[in-house]
Amino acid sequence: MALPKTPSFRLDGRRALVTGAGRGIGLALAAALAEAGAAVTLAARTAAEIEAGAAAIRDAGGRAEAAVLDVADLAAVEAFFAGRPAVHVLVNNAGTNRPKLMWEITPADYDAVLDLNVKSAFFVVQACVKRMIAEGAKGSLIHIGSQMGHVGGPNRSLYCASKWAIEGMNKSFALDLAHYGIRSNVIAPTFIETPMTRPYLKDATFRANVLARIKLGRLGAVEDLMGAALFLASDASALVTGTSLVVDGGWTAD
């Protein structure tokens, strides 16, 4: 009897790009893709961080390069993708947060969060897929959303707005791009201990409230997202598009 063969999680021969890759989730996902065989480009505004990350990946035996890119500069984004070969995997990770009560939010706060988390994310994808379509490159788009794209949260109105937008855009991306063999999915994490979240998690009351909502009883680590990204990037998820992989320890289950 011939048994079915598990699709490969390997990414040999594929090019990947991770935005916001200097630290935290972005760096971890870049490392995961490189470990699976992809040639990874780490992109961010800060050269020192991504150069250090790319060097660490190379030291571990992977293939990686650093590319300074401000995803808020839409002209620079367009030029960046137009000037290099198409990628097969995009991790759309750059983002920010300004936690405030909704009545304290200023127009500057709104622009800072929505412009980066939604507008820049949208146009990074647009520039990326135009290049993919032009070269006939099939592949996978992975957007880093949040559990807050599925529920609400106190002091999180801007962040929730941006992450719910990512969920909606993702579904439409999947429909527009299916014909070209380009898949689009979201990873929606709970609170992950990173340089961005660490200051909030130092507050004992806030941390206790978060832990009470995560049914598995612990905060997330970047390692918890690495397998999810590898799954969505690889042939193991060949029929998965337009969905959200919620990695939240049970937060949204009730």
**C-beta pairs of 98-103 under 8 Å, 24+ apart in sequence:** 98/158, 98/159, 99/155, 99/156, 99/159, 99/200, 100/155, 100/158, 101/154, 101/155, 102/157
Closest Cα partner for 252 from 145, 150, 144?
150
Which residue in the list 110, 159, 180, 200 is annotated as catalytic?
Answer: 159
Q: What single string gives the DSSP state of each residue in the chain? A: -PPP-PPP---TT-EEEEESTTSHHHHHHHHHHHHTT-EEEEEES-HHHHHHHHHHHHHTT-EEEEEE--TT-HHHHHHHHHTSPPPSEEEE-------B-GGG--HHHHHHHHIIIIIIHHHHHHHHHHHHHHHT--EEEEEE--GGGTS--TTBHHHHHHHHHHHHHHHHHHHHHGGGTEEEEEEEE--B-STTTHHHHTSHHHHHHHHHH-TTSS-B-THHHHHHHHHHHSGGGTT--S-EEEESTTGGG-
User: Does the annotation count 110 as an active-site position?
Assistant: no
Active site residues: 159
